[in-house]
Amino acid sequence: MRKQYKTYNLHLKYIHLPEDQMFGELISIVLEHLLTRLRLQNKPQAKMLVAHELAARSIIEGLYQVFGSRHKQCKLAVPKSDGAYGSKDHQLTEYSHTAVLRVLDALESLGWIDLEKGIKNWGGENIPTRLRAKGRLLQEFERTKYVWRKMGPKHRDVIVLKDFDRKTKSKVYCQFKDNNDIRRWRKNLQIYNSFITQHAICLSIDKHHLEAGLIAKMANDQYQLDSVFGDNKKKPRIFNYLHVQLRRIFSRGSFQKGGRFYGGWWQFIPSEYRRYITINGLPTVEVDYSELHPRMMYREANLPLPEGDLYDLGLRFDGKEYDKDIEPYKSKRKVIKTYINAMINDDRGNFKLNNRQIKTIEMNTASLGAWVNKKHPIIKDIKGKGHGLRYQFIDSQVAEKVMMKLLSQGILCLPVHDSFVCQEHHLPELQIAMNEAYEEVLGVVPQLKDPEEFLTDFEPVFYPYPNDMYLDLTYMKNQQQGSQHDQFLSSYWKYQQKE
């Protein structure tokens, strides 16, 4: 039997359009070629022309963002089936099926795309038609390079309510009526999304580190997000600096469950790469709330917190005293943290350690569970009951307050559920905002982790020289100028100068 495979595609449904018309000339060529091939007897209706233009602009922009993903296997997924288009949430609601097919035909006729027809794979998954740019279109992308753009709003609604269909085992979208809370959440997030599109957020890493390191890792079929919250399936992830706008997603058909912020590209990269984030070219810092959900668990039960590190189960290894920042405790603590938070958040109660985690912690799931229950007997009462979704709603309220407090000061912070990234020189303001927001929502003082030091591939490079050291400016300049970080940031500053 052939091996099942996961696709590495950027879907047309998730294409964000920028405010500019950078490829306006190419779009015009496609539209003119499209009309020539149609050989219409009468003048086309205005509605038809608008549909053609939206489809052409979105597909060309999608191909450009695929080009920017820097991975040869990444393609733009564009369904050809009419069932993929309509008014339902899972469908392509913005596009005309006919217009999309006509644009694809024109692009193929011009020799601007490689098109791979859709199939049903061995796993039963419907794989849409997939495209990559070639010919003149690819040449234009290569000339333009991958640049910063001010993105327009994408989502029909930034507030999303989902539920779980127990028959199909899938998530479904729910219709809902607005109330004062929902209107306030929507307004705040729209203001935040408008603010974030005015900034350039990227990674201070060189070309090799980006392509052979980060992108290769994310494109792997076995790639899995670090967090146990949300979508944690093993699947390839698209790398795209232009995905910066957020939605707030509530769960189980309730506006008291979930509510966290999703959609920013920095949420989908491995956690160790967040230390390379720059905002407008400046270094950043990330600050986490410590032991967030375990502390909520004890607070809700009106029980005192155990002393010390809540993820220290009393296990000791190699005769070493416990220190969460050194090995072997650092790696083992990460597994314990994952397990405890899974017990709080997994409403199905079937979380199992994987082979790597078992090897790290040196015990199976049942044995670790016994140690956790000994340290935290309360876990037995809440395991498998989905308390985490209620805790997520609480921490999403905290996150909204942090984001809006800093925005009112003109400071951008990037949410990563229970942590936040901002420019390094705004660390004091971030810590104050996190403390105040937590106290406002929970009525107690939080514990914040120490921020981790910013990393960059563009540090000064010194070489030994007789009796001294010298700075290799040429090497540094070449490393930075060949990087996507430099291209992206340079285009941002050009835009700012025009403004």
Which pLDDT score is estimated for 172?
86
Is the predicted pLDDT of residue 475 greater than 60, yes or no? no
pLDDT of residue 153: 81
Q: Name the least confident of 78-82, 337-341, 406-410, 429-433.
A: 337-341
Q: Decide if pLDDT at 37 tops 50.
A: yes
Contacts of 244 (CB under 8 A, 6+ apart): 151, 196, 197, 199, 201, 263, 264, 265
Q: Tell me, what's the pLDDT at 301?
A: 86
Residue 469, pLDDT > 60, answer no
pLDDT, one tens digit per residue, over 279-338 is: 999 999 999 999 999 999 998 888 998 889 999 999 988 888 999 888 999 999 989 998
Report the share of the chain in percent with pLDDT over 90. 62
Note the pLDDT tens digit of each residue in 483-493.
899 999 999 99
Q: 75 forms bridges with which residues in the sheet? A: 9
Give the separation between CA 69 and CA 219, rounded to whole angstroms: 10
- Torsion-angle region of residue 179: left (phi > 0), alpha (psi -120 to 50) or beta? beta
Q: Quick check: 324 and 316 in contact, CB under 8 A?
A: no
Do 218 and 268 meet the contact criterion of CB atoms below 8 Å apart?
Answer: yes
The answer to which of 169-173, 202-206, 266-270, 381-385 has the lowest mean pLDDT is 381-385
| pLDDT of 465 | 58
Report field, pTM of the whole predicted structure over 0.85: yes
Q: 369 versus 8: which is more confidently predicted? A: 369
- What per-residue confidence (pLDDT) applies to 346? 73
pLDDT on residue 7: 63
Q: Which residues lie below 8 Å from residue 281, measured CB to CB, with a gap of 6+?
A: 200, 489, 492, 493
Indicate whether 24 pLDDT > 80: yes
- How many CA within 13 A on the CB side of residue 451? 22
Question: Who wins on pLDDT, 428 or 462?
Answer: 428
pLDDT tens digit sequence for 188-231: 999 999 999 999 999 999 999 999 999 999 988 888 876 544 45
Bridge partners of 285, per DSSP, are 422
Residue 79 has pLDDT above 80, yes or no: yes
Token pair 């494109």: residue? 219
Tokens of residue 99, six digits: 């217009």
Rounded alpha-carbon distances, angstroms, from residue 126 to 88, 209, 358, 380:
18, 33, 35, 41
Give backbone dihedrals phi and psi of 457, rounded to 5 degrees, phi first. Answer: -85, 0
The tens digit of pLDDT for each residue in 239-265 reads 899 999 999 999 999 999 999 999 999
Residue-averaged pLDDT of the chain: 88
Asked whether the predicted pLDDT for residue 366 surpasses 50, the reply is yes
Query: Which residue in this structure is represented by tokens 């791979």?
Result: 116
Rg, C-alpha atoms of the chain: 25
The DSSP secondary structure of 108-150, one letter per residue, reads HHHT-EEEE--EE-TTS-EEPEEEEE-HHHHHHHHHH-S----
Residue 3, pLDDT score: 41
Taking the C-alpha atoms of residue 136 and residue 234, their distance in angstroms, rounded to an integer, is 36
Rounded average pLDDT over 38-53: 90
The CA-atom distances, in angstroms, between 458 and each of 75, 169, 208, 211, 325 are 31, 47, 13, 16, 26
pLDDT bucket at 387, cuts 50 / 70 / 90: confident
Position 1 scores a pLDDT of 33
Asked if 169 contacts 217 with a C-beta cutoff of 8 angstroms, the reply is no
Q: How far is CA 299 from the centre of its chain?
A: 30
pLDDT at 422 over 80: yes
Percent of the chain with pLDDT over 70: 91
Percent helix, strand and coil across the chain, each to the nearest 5: 45, 15, 40
| Cis-peptide, bond into residue 270, ω within 30° of zero | no
**CB 272 within 8 Å of CB 453:** no
Report which of 152, 202, 132 is spatially closest to residue 21, judged by C-alpha positions.
Answer: 152
Mean pLDDT of the region 347-359: 82
From residue 478, alpha-carbon distances to 213, 384, 475, 482, 485 in Å are 19, 53, 5, 6, 13
pLDDT digits (tens, 9 = 90+) for 104-143: 999 999 999 999 998 776 666 678 999 999 999 999 999 9
pLDDT bracket for residue 4 (50, 70, 90): very low
